[in-house]
Structure 1
Amino acid sequence: MFVIDMLSKKTVMPTAETALPGRTAPIPTSEHHFVNGRSLKGPYPEGSEVAYFGMGCFWGAERLFWKIPGVHVTAVGYSGGLTPNPTYHETTTGLTGHAEIVKVVFDPKEVSYGQLLKVFFEEHDPTQGMRQGNDIGTTYRSAIYTTTSEQEAEAKAALDAFQAALDASGRSLRITTEIAPVGEFYYAEDYHQQYLAKNPGGYCGLKGTGVSCPMG
């Protein structure tokens, strides 16, 4: 009963009263991308755009995006919650409200936001609510955090298109992806950045629905 109770609490978003207090200073983290050596925090090339995606565990999700031509740099962190400058262990309690997020800096002349959305919807299951496979909790929810009104409109259109594709496939599944303007993005600890490049045999729980997203 104790284990079930703990899991149920991790799937409920905290309130301002129940959220962990966090800290005023950022936690230590990497400055450069382990794979391509570029600055994680900028400055970025002129004309770059930034996108934020939550697909469950951020290790495998980040690897998907850094391999895409036109993506300048990626980083993992936490966003969407209440606790300032959280640690990984704090997020896993469910008491920060943050999701595990991948920050994607890209050149829109080489890869469109629509193409990134297609990867997002096809490479994880956006219908699972506060979980992704065996990873359970608010931190593993599906999320798109947008930086412009154009991104928000395109993300909502992609969600509608993918829902229609799921319906056409005969699946009785409803998308639970959260779409919202991005708030503060907090960089994750050094060992999480580009984790699967540092640990090639590491865990990756990503699994899509097998349905194609008609975007990009």
Structure 2
Amino acid sequence: MNILNKLGFGVRSPDPSAMDPTIPQSPDDDSPAPGQQFAQFGAGCFWGVELVFQRVSGVTKTEVGYTQGLLHNPTYEKAAKESMERHQKAFNRKIVTEILPAKKFYRAEEYHQQYLAKGGRSGFKQSAEKGCNDPIRCYG
């Protein structure tokens, strides 16, 4: 029984070993506006990371989403389930971070964009004001 079932989620994602990792993912085709630059960061919970970048002077736009996975057009639920099932067997192994060229970026569902600044589930809006140093509470 996987951990999702233990937590009460009865839906199983496709077996990652059955997914075809040879499906080509083209490089991300986002282009910055003239006079601007583009950066892409990988992180765990993207809500808190996005709020950090929203507060940085000079950052004009943030978007959260998914990249580097085996799923095309992923959703938050599909990406989380696929990742959990794939890594569940490796809990006793050393966890490392790979730095790789970015593959296709899939923008997350609209409700995830600027999620904490909009109030998240509880409606408690957190400041995205430039230079703000308030603690960030990631409360899904």
TM-score by length of 1: 0.40
Q: 1:177 to 1:201 in 2, by over 3 A?
A: farther
Q: 1:18 to 1:185 in 2, by over 3 A?
A: same
Which of 89, 100, 103 is 1:183 aligned to?
Answer: 103
Q: 1:190 to 1:87 in 2, by over 3 A?
A: same
Aligned-residue sequence identity (percent) comes to 42
Two-structure CA RMSD over aligned residues (Å): 3.5
One-letter code of the match for 2:52?
A: L
Q: 1:138 to 1:77 in 2, by over 3 A?
A: farther
One-letter code of the match for 2:98?
A: E
One-letter code of the match for 1:90?
A: K
Q: State the Cα distance separating 1:44 from its structure 2 match.
A: 3.8
Which of 60, 65, 78 is 1:72 aligned to?
Answer: 60
Q: 1:93 to 1:191 in 2, by over 3 A?
A: same
Which of 108, 112, 119 is 1:192 aligned to?
Answer: 112
Aligned length: 104
Q: State the Cα distance separating 1:71 from its structure 2 match.
A: 1.0
Tell me which stretches of 4 or more aligned residues in structure 1 moved more than 4 Å: 3-7, 136-139
One-letter code of the match for 2:42?
A: G
- Secondary structure at the counterpart of residue 89 of structure 1: helix
Which of 52, 65, 76 is 2:40 aligned to?
Answer: 52
Instruction: Kindly report which structure 2 residues correspond to 1:20-169, keeping only aligned pairs within 5 A, or say none.
Output: 44-94=32-82
Task: Give the number of the structure whose residues are more often strand, by fraction.
Answer: 1
Q: Specify the alignment match of 1:14 in structure 2.
A: 16
Q: Answer yes or no: is the 8 Å Cα contact 2:16–2:86 preserved in 1.
A: no
Q: 1:137 to 1:4 in 2, by over 3 A?
A: closer
Deviations 1:139-162 (A, max 9, x none): 9xxxxxxxxxxxxxxxxxxxxxxx
Q: Specify the alignment match of 1:38 in structure 2.
A: none
One-letter code of the match for 1:80?
A: Q
1: CA distance, partners of 2:85 / 2:124: 24
Is 1:201 the counterpart of 2:135? The answer is: no
**Structure 2: 5+ residue runs without aligned partners?**
7-14, 21-28, 88-93, 126-136
Q: Specify the alignment match of 1:154 in structure 2.
A: none
- Secondary structure at the counterpart of residue 99 of structure 2: strand
2: CA distance, partners of 1:92 / 1:82: 12
Q: 1:204 to 1:138 in 2, by over 3 A?
A: farther
One-letter code of the match for 1:201?
A: F
Q: State the Cα distance separating 1:60 from its structure 2 match.
A: 0.5
